[in-house]
Structure 1
Amino acid sequence: MSHHARAFEELGIIRGPVPSKALADVGPVVAQWRQCAHRYGDEVREGLYAIAQPAGRVPAETYRRLRVEILDALKAAMPVDIVLLFLHGAMVSEDVDDCEGDLIQAVREVVGSDCVIGVELDPHCHMSEAMIEHADAIVLMREYPHTDYEARAVELFELCRAAASGATRPVMAVADCHMVGFYPTTSQPMRGLVDRLHEVEQRPGVLSASLVHGFPWGDVADAGTKVLVVANDDSALAGRVATELAQAFYRARHALLPRLETIDEALDGMAVPGPEALMPRVLADAGDNPGGGAPGDHTVLLAALVRRTGLRSAIGIVCDAEAVDACLAAGIGAQLTLCIGGKAGASSGQPLTLEVTVRGLSRSHRQWVGDIDDPLGRAAWVRSGPTDIVLASRRQQILSPDALTGLGVPLHEARVIAVKSSHHYYGEFSKLSTDCHVVETGAALSMDFARLPYQRRDLNFFPAVGNPAPHLA
Structure 2
Amino acid sequence: MRIAVGGFQHETNTFAPSKAPWAAFEQADSWPGLQKGPHLLTAFKGMNIPIAGFIDEAEARGHTLLPLVWCSATPSAHVTEEAYERVAEILLDALGYAGEIDAVYLDLHGAMVTEHLEDGEGELLKRVRAAVGPKIPVVASLDLHANVTAEMVEYSDVLIAYRTYPHVDMAETGARAAAHLDAMFAGLPRQAKAMRKIDYLIPLTAQCTLVEPSASIYRDVAALEGAILGNGRVSTVSFAGGFAPADIKDCSPTIIAYADTEVAANEAAERIAKKVNDSESAFREKLWSAPDAVAHAIANAGEGGPIILADTQDNPGAGGNGDTVGILRELIVQNAQSAVLGVLFDPESAKAAAEAGEGARIRLRLGAKTGGADEEPIDDEFEVARISDGEFLATGPFYGGSRMSLGTTARLRKGGVEIVVASRKAQCADQEMLKHIGIEPAKLGILVVKSSVHFRADFGPLAREVLVVESPGPNTADLSKLHYKHLRNGVRVMPLGKPYTG
**Using the alignment, how far apart are the partners of 2:170 and 2:372 within structure 1?**
35
- Cα displacement string for residues 282-305 of structure 1 (whole angstroms, at most 9, x for unaligned residues): 110000001111111100000011
Residue of structure 2 equivalent to 1:67: 88
Residue of structure 2 equivalent to 1:95: 116
Identity %: 27
Residue of structure 2 equivalent to 1:462: 492
Q: Secondary structure of 1:174's match?
A: strand
1:6 to 23, 42, 45: 23
The answer to whether the Cα contact below 8 Å between 2:350 and 2:409 also exists between their aligned partners in 1 is: yes
Deviates more, 1:457-466 or 1:247-256: 457-466
Cα 1:108–1:273 change in 2 (3 A) is closer
Residue of structure 1 equivalent to 2:126: 105
Point out where structure 2 has 5 or more consecutive residues left out of the alignment: 1-18
Aligned partner letter, 1:173: A
Residue of structure 2 equivalent to 1:199: 223
Q: CA deviation at 1:438?
A: 0.8
2:429 to 399, 407, 412: 399
Residue of structure 1 equivalent to 2:360: 334
Residue of structure 2 equivalent to 1:185: 209
The answer to whether the Cα contact below 8 Å between 2:92 and 2:128 also exists between their aligned partners in 1 is: yes
Aligned partner letter, 1:22: F
Residue of structure 1 equivalent to 2:413: 383
TM normalised by structure 1 equals 0.93
Aligned partner letter, 1:101: G
Equivalent positions of 1:133-212 (< 5 A) are 133-181=154-202, 182=204, 183-204=207-228, 205-212=233-240
**Using the alignment, how far apart are the partners of 1:297 and 1:193 within structure 2?**
34
**Using the alignment, how far apart are the partners of 1:347 and 1:463 within structure 2?**
22
Q: CA deviation at 1:434?
A: 5.2
Residue of structure 1 equivalent to 2:6: none
Q: CA deviation at 1:118?
A: 0.4
**Using the alignment, how far apart are the partners of 2:391 and 2:70 within structure 1?**
24
- Cα displacement string for residues 144-197 of structure 1 (whole angstroms, at most 9, x for unaligned residues): 011111222222112122223433221221111112112010111110001111
Equivalent positions of 1:25-104 (< 5 A) are 29-104=50-125
**Using the alignment, how far apart are the partners of 1:134 and 1:359 within structure 2?**
53
2:251 to 194, 215, 223: 223
Residue of structure 2 equivalent to 1:261: 288
**Using the alignment, how far apart are the partners of 1:31 and 1:292 within structure 2?**
23
Aligned partner letter, 1:422: S
Cα 1:108–1:226 change in 2 (3 A) is same
**Using the alignment, how far apart are the partners of 1:414 and 1:266 within structure 2?**
16
**Using the alignment, how far apart are the partners of 1:85 and 1:218 within structure 2?**
22
**Using the alignment, how far apart are the partners of 2:306 and 2:162 within structure 1?**
30
Cα 1:301–1:353 change in 2 (3 A) is same
Residue of structure 1 equivalent to 2:370: 344
1:119 aligns to 2:140 (yes or no): yes
The answer to whether the Cα contact below 8 Å between 2:21 and 2:82 also exists between their aligned partners in 1 is: no
1:361 aligns to 2:387 (yes or no): yes
Aligned partner letter, 2:416: P
Point out where structure 1 has 5 or more consecutive residues left out of the alignment: none
**Using the alignment, how far apart are the partners of 2:46 and 2:484 within structure 1?**
32
1:130 aligns to 2:154 (yes or no): no
The answer to whether the Cα contact below 8 Å between 1:361 and 1:380 also exists between their aligned partners in 2 is: yes
Cα 1:180–1:312 change in 2 (3 A) is same
**Using the alignment, how far apart are the partners of 2:331 and 2:351 within structure 1?**
23
Cα 1:399–1:367 change in 2 (3 A) is farther
- Cα displacement string for residues 23-61 of structure 1 (whole angstroms, at most 9, x for unaligned residues): 9857x5444333433444321111100111111111112
**Using the alignment, how far apart are the partners of 1:23 and 1:351 within structure 2?**
40
The answer to whether the Cα contact below 8 Å between 2:281 and 2:495 also exists between their aligned partners in 1 is: no
**Using the alignment, how far apart are the partners of 2:417 and 2:132 within structure 1?**
57
Aligned partner letter, 2:266: G
Aligned partner letter, 1:415: G
Q: CA deviation at 1:277?
A: 3.4
Aligned partner letter, 1:440: E
Aligned partner letter, 1:370: G
Cα 1:465–1:216 change in 2 (3 A) is closer
- Cα displacement string for residues 312-357 of structure 1 (whole angstroms, at most 9, x for unaligned residues): 2000100000111110111110011111111102536321112210
Q: CA deviation at 1:279?
A: 1.9
Cα 1:256–1:23 change in 2 (3 A) is farther
**Using the alignment, how far apart are the partners of 1:428 and 1:467 within structure 2?**
33
1:294 to 311, 315, 320: 320
2:266 to 220, 229, 239: 239
- Cα displacement string for residues 70-125 of structure 1 (whole angstroms, at most 9, x for unaligned residues): 01111111311111110011111111111101111111111111101101000111
Cα 1:35–1:272 change in 2 (3 A) is closer
**Using the alignment, how far apart are the partners of 2:294 and 2:451 within structure 1?**
18
Deviates more, 1:162-171 or 1:286-295: 162-171
Alignment length, in residue pairs? 465
- Cα displacement string for residues 216-246 of structure 1 (whole angstroms, at most 9, x for unaligned residues): 11111111111111112x1232122212211
